[in-house]
Homo-oligomer: A and B are copies of this chain.
Amino acid sequence: MSEEKTSQAAIAYDLLKADIINGAHRPGDKLLMSHLKTQYDIGAGPMREALSQLVSERLVTAISQRGFRVAQMTQEEMEDIYDARAHLEALIVRLAVERGDEQWEAEVIGKAHTLARVDEINSAEDMLNIWDMRHKAFHLAIAKGCSSPKLLEMRAALFDQAERYRQLWLKQTVFSQSALAAKREEHQALVDALLDKNAERASALMYAHLMSPVSIISELIAEN
Protein backbone atom coordinates (compact mmCIF):
# COMPACT_ATOMS: atom_id res chain seq x y z
CA MET A 1 0.00 0.00 0.00
CA SER A 2 3.00 2.27 -0.21
CA GLU A 3 3.78 3.84 -3.54
CA GLU A 4 4.31 7.46 -4.29
CA LYS A 5 0.58 7.93 -4.50
CA THR A 6 -1.57 10.99 -4.48
CA SER A 7 -4.77 9.39 -5.62
CA GLN A 8 -7.91 10.49 -3.83
CA ALA A 9 -8.48 6.91 -2.74
CA ALA A 10 -5.05 6.70 -1.13
CA ILE A 11 -5.55 9.99 0.67
CA ALA A 12 -8.95 8.88 1.89
CA TYR A 13 -7.47 5.59 3.08
CA ASP A 14 -4.75 7.27 5.12
CA LEU A 15 -7.02 9.87 6.69
CA LEU A 16 -9.75 7.42 7.50
CA LYS A 17 -7.42 4.83 8.95
CA ALA A 18 -5.75 7.45 11.13
CA ASP A 19 -9.09 8.72 12.37
CA ILE A 20 -10.30 5.23 13.20
CA ILE A 21 -7.13 4.35 15.08
CA ASN A 22 -7.00 7.60 17.02
CA GLY A 23 -10.66 7.28 17.89
CA ALA A 24 -12.06 10.23 15.94
CA HIS A 25 -14.44 7.65 14.50
CA ARG A 26 -15.51 5.48 17.40
CA PRO A 27 -16.17 1.73 17.29
CA GLY A 28 -19.63 1.02 15.96
CA ASP A 29 -20.02 4.47 14.43
CA LYS A 30 -21.82 4.58 11.13
CA LEU A 31 -19.58 5.89 8.38
CA LEU A 32 -22.10 7.85 6.37
CA MET A 33 -21.02 8.46 2.81
CA SER A 34 -22.50 11.95 2.69
CA HIS A 35 -20.72 12.86 5.92
CA LEU A 36 -17.37 11.40 4.85
CA LYS A 37 -17.56 13.18 1.51
CA THR A 38 -17.88 16.58 3.12
CA GLN A 39 -15.52 15.81 6.00
CA TYR A 40 -12.63 14.74 3.79
CA ASP A 41 -13.74 16.53 0.61
CA ILE A 42 -13.40 13.37 -1.45
CA GLY A 43 -15.92 11.84 -3.81
CA ALA A 44 -17.93 8.73 -3.17
CA GLY A 45 -15.97 6.54 -5.55
CA PRO A 46 -12.52 6.94 -4.02
CA MET A 47 -14.11 6.88 -0.57
CA ARG A 48 -15.70 3.50 -1.26
CA GLU A 49 -12.33 2.23 -2.41
CA ALA A 50 -10.73 3.32 0.84
CA LEU A 51 -13.52 1.88 2.96
CA SER A 52 -13.30 -1.37 1.08
CA GLN A 53 -9.61 -1.60 1.88
CA LEU A 54 -10.26 -1.02 5.53
CA VAL A 55 -12.89 -3.75 5.51
CA SER A 56 -10.28 -6.24 4.39
CA GLU A 57 -8.05 -5.03 7.22
CA ARG A 58 -10.92 -5.54 9.67
CA LEU A 59 -11.00 -1.95 10.86
CA VAL A 60 -14.33 -1.38 9.14
CA THR A 61 -17.32 -3.64 8.60
CA ALA A 62 -19.67 -3.49 5.65
CA ILE A 63 -23.17 -4.74 5.05
CA SER A 64 -24.38 -4.82 1.49
CA GLN A 65 -26.57 -1.83 0.63
CA ARG A 66 -26.44 -0.70 4.23
CA GLY A 67 -23.09 0.97 4.28
CA PHE A 68 -20.05 0.91 6.48
CA ARG A 69 -19.39 1.03 10.22
CA VAL A 70 -16.27 1.29 12.30
CA ALA A 71 -15.50 -2.23 13.50
CA GLN A 72 -16.45 -2.92 17.10
CA MET A 73 -13.81 -3.47 19.73
CA THR A 74 -14.42 -6.52 21.84
CA GLN A 75 -12.72 -8.40 24.61
CA GLU A 76 -12.68 -11.57 22.49
CA GLU A 77 -11.14 -9.90 19.46
CA MET A 78 -8.49 -8.21 21.57
CA GLU A 79 -7.47 -11.48 23.18
CA ASP A 80 -7.35 -13.21 19.82
CA ILE A 81 -5.29 -10.47 18.18
CA TYR A 82 -2.83 -10.31 21.04
CA ASP A 83 -2.45 -14.06 21.26
CA ALA A 84 -1.98 -14.42 17.51
CA ARG A 85 0.42 -11.52 17.40
CA ALA A 86 2.49 -12.80 20.30
CA HIS A 87 2.76 -16.26 18.79
CA LEU A 88 3.68 -14.83 15.39
CA GLU A 89 6.26 -12.46 16.83
CA ALA A 90 7.72 -15.26 18.93
CA LEU A 91 8.12 -17.25 15.74
CA ILE A 92 9.68 -14.31 13.95
CA VAL A 93 12.17 -13.65 16.74
CA ARG A 94 13.23 -17.26 16.75
CA LEU A 95 13.95 -17.05 13.03
CA ALA A 96 15.65 -13.69 13.50
CA VAL A 97 18.12 -15.15 15.96
CA GLU A 98 18.82 -18.02 13.59
CA ARG A 99 19.07 -15.87 10.48
CA GLY A 100 20.14 -12.41 11.65
CA ASP A 101 23.62 -11.21 10.75
CA GLU A 102 25.95 -8.68 12.35
CA GLN A 103 24.27 -5.78 10.60
CA TRP A 104 21.02 -6.88 12.20
CA GLU A 105 22.57 -7.08 15.66
CA ALA A 106 23.96 -3.61 15.26
CA GLU A 107 20.58 -2.21 14.23
CA VAL A 108 18.87 -3.83 17.20
CA ILE A 109 21.40 -2.55 19.67
CA GLY A 110 21.19 0.90 18.16
CA LYS A 111 17.41 1.06 18.42
CA ALA A 112 17.52 -0.36 21.94
CA HIS A 113 19.88 2.38 22.96
CA THR A 114 17.73 5.11 21.42
CA LEU A 115 14.70 3.73 23.19
CA ALA A 116 16.44 3.50 26.56
CA ARG A 117 17.49 7.14 26.30
CA VAL A 118 13.89 8.29 25.96
CA ASP A 119 13.44 9.23 29.63
CA GLU A 120 15.60 12.26 29.04
CA ILE A 121 12.63 13.89 27.36
CA ASN A 122 10.63 16.28 29.51
CA SER A 123 7.53 17.37 27.65
CA ALA A 124 4.77 14.95 28.59
CA GLU A 125 2.99 15.36 25.30
CA ASP A 126 6.05 14.48 23.21
CA MET A 127 6.94 11.67 25.54
CA LEU A 128 4.09 9.43 24.40
CA ASN A 129 4.73 9.90 20.71
CA ILE A 130 8.47 9.60 20.93
CA TRP A 131 8.50 6.56 23.18
CA ASP A 132 5.91 4.89 20.96
CA MET A 133 7.88 5.61 17.78
CA ARG A 134 11.13 4.33 19.20
CA HIS A 135 9.47 1.32 20.75
CA LYS A 136 7.99 0.41 17.41
CA ALA A 137 11.34 0.96 15.69
CA PHE A 138 13.06 -1.28 18.23
CA HIS A 139 10.64 -4.13 17.69
CA LEU A 140 10.68 -3.73 13.94
CA ALA A 141 14.47 -3.87 13.94
CA ILE A 142 14.30 -7.19 15.76
CA ALA A 143 11.63 -8.60 13.47
CA LYS A 144 13.50 -7.67 10.32
CA GLY A 145 16.10 -10.26 11.22
CA CYS A 146 13.74 -13.02 10.08
CA SER A 147 14.37 -11.83 6.48
CA SER A 148 10.90 -12.84 5.38
CA PRO A 149 8.91 -10.09 3.67
CA LYS A 150 5.76 -12.17 3.98
CA LEU A 151 6.09 -12.79 7.70
CA LEU A 152 6.77 -9.10 8.18
CA GLU A 153 3.66 -8.30 6.16
CA MET A 154 1.55 -10.57 8.34
CA ARG A 155 3.11 -9.01 11.39
CA ALA A 156 2.25 -5.53 10.13
CA ALA A 157 -1.32 -6.56 9.41
CA LEU A 158 -1.82 -7.87 12.93
CA PHE A 159 -0.12 -4.80 14.31
CA ASP A 160 -2.61 -2.51 12.58
CA GLN A 161 -5.47 -4.52 13.98
CA ALA A 162 -4.00 -4.30 17.46
CA GLU A 163 -3.33 -0.58 17.25
CA ARG A 164 -6.65 0.65 18.62
CA TYR A 165 -6.36 -1.62 21.65
CA ARG A 166 -2.72 -0.77 22.02
CA GLN A 167 -3.49 2.94 22.28
CA LEU A 168 -5.46 2.22 25.46
CA TRP A 169 -2.49 0.53 27.04
CA LEU A 170 0.02 3.09 25.83
CA LYS A 171 -1.37 5.98 27.87
CA GLN A 172 -1.34 3.86 31.03
CA THR A 173 2.22 2.73 30.46
CA VAL A 174 4.11 5.76 29.23
CA PHE A 175 3.03 7.96 32.10
CA SER A 176 3.89 5.39 34.76
CA GLN A 177 7.51 5.34 35.80
CA SER A 178 7.24 1.82 37.19
CA ALA A 179 5.58 0.48 34.05
CA LEU A 180 8.25 2.08 31.89
CA ALA A 181 10.98 0.62 34.08
CA ALA A 182 9.43 -2.84 33.78
CA LYS A 183 9.36 -2.51 30.01
CA ARG A 184 12.96 -1.37 30.01
CA GLU A 185 13.97 -4.53 31.86
CA GLU A 186 12.01 -6.74 29.48
CA HIS A 187 13.70 -5.10 26.52
CA GLN A 188 17.11 -5.54 28.06
CA ALA A 189 16.47 -9.22 28.77
CA LEU A 190 15.31 -9.62 25.19
CA VAL A 191 18.40 -8.00 23.76
CA ASP A 192 20.61 -10.17 25.98
CA ALA A 193 18.91 -13.31 24.71
CA LEU A 194 19.28 -12.15 21.11
CA LEU A 195 22.98 -11.48 21.47
CA ASP A 196 23.38 -14.84 23.19
CA LYS A 197 21.81 -16.38 20.08
CA ASN A 198 19.43 -18.09 22.46
CA ALA A 199 16.49 -18.42 20.10
CA GLU A 200 14.17 -20.29 22.42
CA ARG A 201 14.71 -17.92 25.32
CA ALA A 202 14.31 -14.85 23.08
CA SER A 203 11.13 -16.32 21.64
CA ALA A 204 9.67 -17.02 25.09
CA LEU A 205 10.57 -13.54 26.32
CA MET A 206 8.98 -11.96 23.27
CA TYR A 207 5.77 -13.90 23.78
CA ALA A 208 5.57 -12.81 27.40
CA HIS A 209 6.46 -9.24 26.51
CA LEU A 210 3.66 -8.97 23.98
CA MET A 211 1.09 -10.68 26.19
CA SER A 212 1.74 -8.61 29.28
CA PRO A 213 -0.55 -5.72 28.24
CA VAL A 214 -3.55 -8.02 27.85
CA SER A 215 -4.81 -7.91 31.42
CA ILE A 216 -4.52 -4.13 31.58
CA ILE A 217 -6.30 -3.63 28.27
CA SER A 218 -8.90 -6.13 29.39
CA GLU A 219 -9.73 -3.96 32.40
CA LEU A 220 -9.79 -0.80 30.33
CA ILE A 221 -12.27 -2.34 27.90
CA ALA A 222 -14.44 -3.54 30.77
CA GLU A 223 -14.56 -0.02 32.22
CA ASN A 224 -16.11 1.46 29.08
- A residues whose Cβ falls under 8 Å from a Cβ of B: 1, 3-7, 9-10, 45, 48-49, 52-53, 55-58, 62-65, 80-81, 83-85, 87-88, 91, 95, 148-151, 153-154, 157-158, 161
- Give the residues in chain B near A95, CB-CB below 8 Å: 87
Query: Residues of B contacting A5 with CB < 8 Å?
Result: 64
Main SS class of interface, A: helix
- Given A5-B64, A83-B148, does the pair A52, B53 have CB atoms closer than 8 Å? yes
Docked CA distance A149–B87 (Å): 13
Can you name the residue of chain B whose Cβ is closest to the Cβ of A94?
B87
Task: Give the distance to chain B from A200, nearest Cβ to Cβ, in Å.
Answer: 12
A16 nearest CB across to chain B (Å): 14
Complex alpha-carbon distance, A154 and B49, angstroms: 22
Contacts of A58 in B (CB 8 A): 153
Could you say which of A1, A84, A150 has the most chain B C-beta atoms within 10 Å of its C-beta? A150
